[in-house]
Amino acid sequence: MDIESKMQIKKVNRAYLDKQDVQQPLFPWTLSFTWEIPLSEIINVEISKYAIAIILNHKSGDMHMNVLAINGSPHMDEGNTAMILNPFLAGMKEEGASVEVFYTRKLKIGPCNGDMSCWFKNPGECSQNDDMLMLLPKFRDADIIVWASPVYYAGITGPLKNLMDRQLPLYMMGVGSKKQKAVLVSTCGAWELSMFDPLLAQMKAIYDRPEGGFEFAGALLRPMAEGVKEMLKAGETRLVEGVFLAAIEAGRQLVKDGRISEETQKAVSKELMPQDAYYKAAQEMKEQAKKEMGK
């Protein structure tokens, strides 16, 4: 890390401390990011181990947005997916949205048993008694749904897919009577952006349905996420800072304009190093890890 970036980090940390009464970090790496919310706008700050909600006062005339985010990474807030998701949510909060984040790892949600009883026997009711009962009304009432997942074998994680399948009773609960937007946030180990294609195809198949009141509003995709983490560890914040700032901006845009610009989505996915250099470094790290394990 050069002296200039050290000074920048110190400066931001200072600003962060000065404003501790009005903001809380949502990021695993708090060193570079702050957002400013006037004290008069804050009604309440709710802090739990895994989520921080800043409840804002909304100006009259503002469209109040309810955002429901589900993070399907087993690493929760320590993971690569949270490193993109959390600044994105911060940007939405900055624009006055109410945001709730749930972690599949903390939820008890079994797979759908496929008996269709939520359609035919007891319409709108699931026969299983688990955390999905609490989540279903939140899905119904959300204006924006954020699906966040690492890529696992070219798809979303198993627990997140289970949760997704268990939305089936919603079809009988009157969802579709309001407009809902969905966003995908995903990270992967590969360098290639095409690694996200299957996840994008799934999201579009579900949400590209204006006639059903649904809209797929975009995706924040971060390839070579392990590399980003290593860069942060090495203090190379300047290279990756733009990615996080773009994630914040994406949140702001979504609430303010109802869409995330192509340019902002591209900035989240931006190439940080050539493909061969990334895979060479990854191979070296693997060899090193094997050596350390004595294999």
Ligand X SMILES: Cc1cc2nc3c(=O)[nH]c(=O)nc-3n(C[C@H](O)[C@H](O)[C@H](O)COP(=O)(O)O)c2cc1C
Applying CB under 6 A, among 7, 43, 154, 285 the residue interacting with ligand X is: 154
Q: Are 169 and 133 in contact (CB under 8 A)?
A: no
Number of residues in contact with ligand X, rule: CB under 6 A?
A: 17
Q: By CB under 6 A, is residue 187 in contact with ligand X?
A: yes
Concatenate the DSSP letters of all residues of 198-246 into one string.
HHHHHHHHHH--GGGTEEEEEEEEESSHHHHHHHHHTT-HHHHHHHHHH
Residue 140 is inside which H or E element, if any?
helix 132-141
DSSP 8-state class, residue 273: S
Applying CB under 6 A, among 95, 100, 131, 226 the residue interacting with ligand X is: 226
Applying CB under 6 A, among 23, 81, 237, 253 the residue interacting with ligand X is: 81
CB of residue 74 vs ligand X: minimum separation in angstroms?
6
Select from 31-39, 151-159, 204-212, 259-267 the region that touches ligand X (CB under 6 A): 151-159
Q: Are 183 and 247 in contact (CB under 8 A)?
A: no
Query: What is the contact mask toward ligand X in residues 190 to 219, using x (rule: CB under 6 A)?
Result: x----x------------------------
Q: By CB under 6 A, is residue 151 in contact with ligand X?
A: yes
Closer residue to ligand X (CB): 75 or 256: 75
What tokens appear for 137 in the block? 């009304």
Beta-bridged to residue 24, according to DSSP, are: none
Q: By CB under 6 A, is residue 50 in contact with ligand X?
A: no
Q: By CB under 6 A, is residue 128 in contact with ligand X?
A: no
CB of residue 189 vs ligand X: minimum separation in angstroms?
4
Residue identified by tokens 């009883």 is 117
Applying CB under 6 A, among 67, 89, 156, 188 the residue interacting with ligand X is: 188
Could you give the CA distance from residue 247 to residue 222 in angstroms, rounded to a whole number?
Answer: 10
Q: By CB under 6 A, is residue 87 in contact with ligand X?
A: no
Could you give the CA distance from residue 125 to residue 118 in angstroms, rounded to a whole number?
Answer: 5
Applying CB under 6 A, among 23, 73, 180, 269 the residue interacting with ligand X is: 73
Could you give the CA distance from residue 131 to residue 144 in angstroms, rounded to a whole number?
Answer: 20
Closer residue to ligand X (CB): 79 or 91: 79
CB of residue 280 vs ligand X: minimum separation in angstroms?
17
Altogether, the residues listed in the chain come to a count of 295
Q: By CB under 6 A, is residue 279 in contact with ligand X?
A: no
Q: By CB under 6 A, is residue 189 in contact with ligand X?
A: yes
Cα–Cα separations (whole angstroms), residue 134 to 64, 123, 124, 128, 139: 22, 17, 13, 12, 10
DSSP 8-state class, residue 105: G
CB of residue 221 vs ligand X: minimum separation in angstroms?
11
Residues that bind ligand X (CB under 6 A): 73, 75, 79-81, 150-154, 187-190, 195, 225-226
